[in-house]
């Protein structure tokens, strides 16, 4: 037989065998961040390294960019697919946002070359016109499959606001495609977005938007993607860890959920002196008993980046999902939070710490991207420095803010915010306007945005960072029975694992004890208010004058008792400055608008916080006046008024 023919036949046989070999498994890497909240600069942090407390700085967007660029380099070298996504809440958090109103977020995030971002609740903090400018201004898709914007004049028709996007991969090379057909034989990954179905209860400005149920919308979107032939589906969500896990259990076909909203730093971090989080890349079985969904989230404030590697079977099911969160550290360390040059560790101590960090799986020293650092310093930092204003007091030591009390220790700042509002409402200047003395103050934990570090406290630290929402202070009456109902509804809603704990109530002039009787439920053992220096029991049918910010006075964020009590009529007063003069704006009643948002009906002139002559930030003004006049050396109050007894 002709040897050439034999060789040719053998080659054909081998080629035929090779063509029958199964395709290699598809593996995708997801780099992810969430709840960055305008933390473009690094955050101060305390770590335990080499059995000692050390202080450094973590994260910031230039450091995030350096880290993700290294992951991109590794993916290119290994010819592996990679996507970089954001789980929402890029807005709010620092003075950068207050000064730039989303424009800086669009600028900086676009320089980071994200592949997709979910809408967070804080993206709705200004108005839909400003949100539309942000969505149109970024160079990556903004996703929300369960958002109907067809009736909203600002967001309807935006090309960059999508339910999902498709990426086709050839090794590490990726391309946005309109359909599976356009991808040819290349593997396709769909990235879909999900936003909070109860957004109108959490966000002040949702306009005419409609928010559909998360589970129903997710399943409908997955079904549509599967019908197109998409095998790999990633959901980028801003729902919180508890709802992400529910989504994984109740929806068939989502392979990975990259979440946000609950600020959950998943993984074990006790090796660094931090609390351990829930497991990273925990897998849940879908209702069909076959599919697996992997759930991840990466903490808060641009301090960490998550990296998850997912391998799929040929029919698109998850066969492996693993990874972790990495805290991104500076390479300069101090032994004192004040970070003076005298506190800086010497070279020998620093080298020992660097070796310790190199041995840990969940922290890495990462240099900032020099170009992005220089851009922020030139374009935005000078205005930020100018805006911080005068020194109003000093902190001898750090004051910590935590939303939910843990092991009997709660926020040190929220009680001070409540105390400032109670103090301010009862000053002669305010009493002359309201004619009413406040009995006690209530503050939701989510109203307070950060902890405070030792050193000088400036006006800008309060108005731009601590209380950045520029909320008017409200004075409204509730019965003792309604006060108890409010405490029960907000505490019970905050207790489940990884619940949205921004609802949790702190107080001044009021104290309570709550006993948990079963997981996530309990009862109030004691409610008392301070009257003429003595604690007295709250009486069910007595009316009390309560001071709080107007956002929660309208029943937003699950403080529903306030909305329920003001639907027919109310004695509420909202307080703001008009042309520099403190003015009371009487409220007639509250109602719900289409989509579920709350509308405040004023008796006379409505309060328009967008008016140039109006300053609504009386919540920040109250704290500034309180520190300057009563607490120039700012320390924690002797007691928080909150006793939370957990099982």
- Backbone φ and ψ for 542, nearest 5 degrees, come out as -85, 140
Q: What is the mean pLDDT of residues 147-174?
A: 96
Q: Where are the beta strands (DSSP E) in 270-413?
A: 282-285, 292-296, 304-312, 318-329, 363-365, 391-395
**Cβ(42)–Cβ(61) under 8 Å?**
no
The residues of the chain that CATH labels 3.90.780.10 are 389-550+616-645
Burial class (CB in 10 A: 0-12, 13-18, 19+), 417: buried
CATH 2.40.30.10 fits 389-550+616-645, yes or no: no
Task: State how far the alpha carbon of 627 is from the alpha carbons of 208, 283, 347, 459, in Å.
Answer: 40, 48, 40, 10
pLDDT by residue (tens digit) across 279-293?
999 999 999 999 999
Look up residue 168 and give its two tokens. 């086709």
**Cβ(286)–Cβ(341) under 8 Å?**
no
Task: State how far the alpha carbon of 174 is from the alpha carbons of 118, 254, 326, 452, 471, in Å.
Answer: 20, 21, 25, 43, 44
How far is 422 from 140, CA to CA, in rounded Å?
45
Burial class (CB in 10 A: 0-12, 13-18, 19+), 564: middle
How far is 362 from 370, CA to CA, in rounded Å?
24
What pLDDT was estimated at residue 93?
87
- Give the residue from 330, 300, 308, 297 showing the smallest Cα distance to 49: 330
**Torsion over CA: 73, 78, 81, 84 (sign):** negative
Look up residue 121 and give its two tokens. 């609740």
- Give the residue from 195, 197, 208 showing the smallest Cα distance to 152: 208
Chain-centroid distance of CA 35 in Å reads: 4
pLDDT by residue (tens digit) across 326-349?
999 999 999 887 777 888 999 999
- The residues facing 325 across adjacent strands are 306
Helix (H, G, I), strand (E, B) or coil at 96: helix
CA dihedral 377, 383, 387, 388 (to 10 degrees): 10
How much of the chain, in percent, has pLDDT values that exceed 70? 96
Look up residue 424 and give its two tokens. 């301010």
**Cβ neighbours of 637 (radius 10 Å):** 14
CATH 3.30.70.420 fits 23-46+57-329+362-379, yes or no: no
How far is 516 from 58, CA to CA, in rounded Å?
35
What pLDDT was estimated at residue 235?
98
Per the prediction, the chain carries an average pLDDT of: 93
The residues of the chain that CATH labels 3.60.21.10 are 23-46+57-329+362-379
**Angle separating helix axes 61-78 and 370-379, nearest 10 degrees:** 150
Q: What is the mean pLDDT of residues 165-179?
A: 97
How far is 92 from 485, CA to CA, in rounded Å?
30
How far is 330 from 348, CA to CA, in rounded Å?
17
Q: What is the mean pLDDT of residues 401-411?
A: 87
How far is 627 from 620, CA to CA, in rounded Å?
11
What pLDDT was estimated at residue 6?
34
What pLDDT was estimated at residue 123?
96
Question: Is the predicted pLDDT of residue 1 greater than 50, yes or no?
Answer: no
What pLDDT was estimated at residue 15?
42
What pLDDT was estimated at residue 16?
44
Give the distance between the most distant pair of CA atoms in the chain.
113
**Cβ(249)–Cβ(286) under 8 Å?**
yes
**Cβ(528)–Cβ(488) under 8 Å?**
no
How far is 561 from 147, CA to CA, in rounded Å?
27
What pLDDT was estimated at residue 57?
92
What pLDDT was estimated at residue 498?
67
Q: Which of 124-133, 329-338, 375-384, 531-540 has the lowest mean pLDDT?
A: 329-338
Locate all alpha helices (DSSP H) within 466-587, ordered by sequence: 480-494, 550-553, 560-565
In a 13 Å sphere around the CA of 358, the CA atoms on its Cβ side amount to: 7
Question: Is the predicted pLDDT of residue 450 greater than 90, yes or no?
Answer: no
Between 166 and 205, where is the model more confident? 166
How far is 626 from 634, CA to CA, in rounded Å?
10
pLDDT by residue (tens digit) across 262-279?
999 999 999 999 989 999
- Backbone φ and ψ for 533, nearest 5 degrees, come out as 85, 0
Q: Which of left, alpha, beta for 299 (phi over 0: left; psi -120 to 50: alpha)?
A: left
Look up residue 567 and give its two tokens. 């639907």
pLDDT by residue (tens digit) across 568-612?
999 999 999 999 999 999 999 999 987 778 999 999 889 999 999
Question: Is the predicted pLDDT of residue 248 greater than 90, yes or no?
Answer: yes
Q: What is the DSSP string of 458-472?
A: EHHIIIIIISTT-PP
Look up residue 397 and give its two tokens. 């030591």
Residue 24: pLDDT band with limits 50, 70, 90: confident
CA dihedral 86, 88, 90, 92 (to 10 degrees): -160
What pLDDT was estimated at residue 647?
82
How far is 461 from 389, CA to CA, in rounded Å?
9
Question: Is the predicted pLDDT of residue 360 greater than 70, yes or no?
Answer: yes
pTM metric for this prediction:
0.79
- Give the residue from 162, 97, 154, 159 showing the smallest Cα distance to 127: 154
């Amino acid at each position: 037989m002709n040897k050439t023919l034999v060789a040719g036949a053998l080659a054909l046989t081998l080629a035929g065998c090779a063509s029958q070999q199964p395709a290699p498994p598809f593996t995708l890497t997801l780099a992810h961040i969430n709840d960055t909240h305008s933390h473009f600069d690094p955050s101060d942090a305390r770590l335990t390294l080499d059995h000692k407390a050390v202080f450094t700085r973590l994260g910031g967007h230039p450091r995030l960019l350096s880290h993700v660029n290294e992951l991109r380099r590794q993916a290119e070298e290994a010819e592996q697919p990679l996507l970089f996504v954001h789980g929402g809440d890029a807005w709010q958090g620092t003075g950068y946002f207050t000064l730039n109103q989303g424009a800086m977020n669009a600028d900086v995030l676009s320089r980071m070359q994200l592949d997709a971002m979910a809408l967070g609740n804080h993206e709705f903090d200004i108005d839909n016109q400003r949100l539309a400018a942000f969505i149109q201004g970024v160079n990556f898709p903004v996703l929300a499959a369960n958002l109907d914007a067809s009736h909203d004049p600002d967001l309807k028709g935006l090309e960059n606001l999508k339910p999902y996007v498709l990426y086709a991969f050839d090794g590490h090379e990726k391309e946005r495609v309109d359909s599976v057909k356009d991808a040819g034989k290349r593997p396709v990954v769909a990235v879909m977005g999900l936003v909070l179905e109860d957004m109108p209860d959490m966000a002040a400005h949702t306009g005419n938007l409609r928010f559909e149920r998360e589970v129903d919308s997710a399943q409908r979107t997955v079904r549509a993607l599967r019908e197109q032939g998409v095998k790999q589906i990633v959901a980028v969500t801003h729902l919180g860890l508890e709802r992400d896990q529910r989504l994984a259990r109740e929806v068939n076909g989502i392979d990975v959920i990259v979440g946000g909203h609950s600020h959950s730093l998943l993984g074990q971090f006790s090796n660094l002196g931090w609390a351990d989080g829930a497991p990273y890349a925990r897998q849940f079985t879908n209702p069909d008993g076959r599919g697996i969904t992997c759930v991840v989230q990466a903490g808060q404030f641009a301090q960490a980046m998550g990296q998850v590697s997912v391998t799929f079977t040929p029919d698109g099911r998850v066969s492996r999902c693993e990874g972790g969160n990495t805290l991104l550290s500076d390479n300069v360390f101090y032994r004192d939070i004040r970070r003076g040059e005298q506190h800086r560790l010497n070279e020998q101590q620093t080298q020992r710490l660097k070796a310790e960090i190199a041995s840990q799986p969940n922290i890495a020293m990462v240099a900032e991207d020099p170009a992005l650092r220089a851009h922020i310093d030139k374009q935005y930092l000078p205005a930020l420095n100018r805006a911080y204003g005068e020194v109003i007091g000093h902190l001898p030591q750090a004051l910590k803010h935590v939303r939910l009390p843990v092991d009997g220790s709660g926020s040190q700042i929220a009680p001070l915010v409540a105390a400032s509002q109670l103090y301010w409402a009862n000053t002669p200047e305010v009493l002359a306007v309201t004619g009413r003395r406040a009995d006690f103050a209530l503050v939701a934990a989510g109203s307070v945005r950060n902890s405070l570090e030792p050193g000088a406290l400036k006006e800008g630290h309060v108005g731009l960072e601590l209380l950045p929402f520029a909320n008017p202070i409200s004075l409204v009456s509730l019965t003792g029975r309604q006060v108890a109902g409010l405490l029960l509804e907000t505490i019970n809603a905050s207790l489940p694992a990884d619940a949205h704990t921004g609802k949790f109530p702190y107080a001044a002039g009021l104290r309570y004890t709550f006993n948990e009787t079963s997981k996530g439920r309990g009862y109030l053992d004691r409610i008392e208010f301070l009257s003429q220096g003595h604690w007295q029991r709250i009486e069910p049918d007595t009316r009390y004058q309560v001071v709080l910010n107007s956002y929660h006075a309208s029943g937003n964020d699950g403080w529903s008792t306030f909305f329920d009590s003001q639907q027919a009529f109310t004695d509420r007063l909202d307080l703001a400055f008009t042309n520099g003069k403190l003015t009371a704006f009487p409220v007639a009643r509250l109602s719900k608008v289409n989509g579920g948002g709350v509308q405040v009906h004023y008796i006379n002139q409505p309060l328009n916080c967008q008016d140039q002559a109006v300053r609504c930030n009386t919540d920040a003004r109250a704290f500034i006046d309180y520190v300057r006049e009563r607490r120039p050396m700012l320390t924690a109050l002797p007691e928080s008024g909150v006793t939370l007894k957990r099982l």
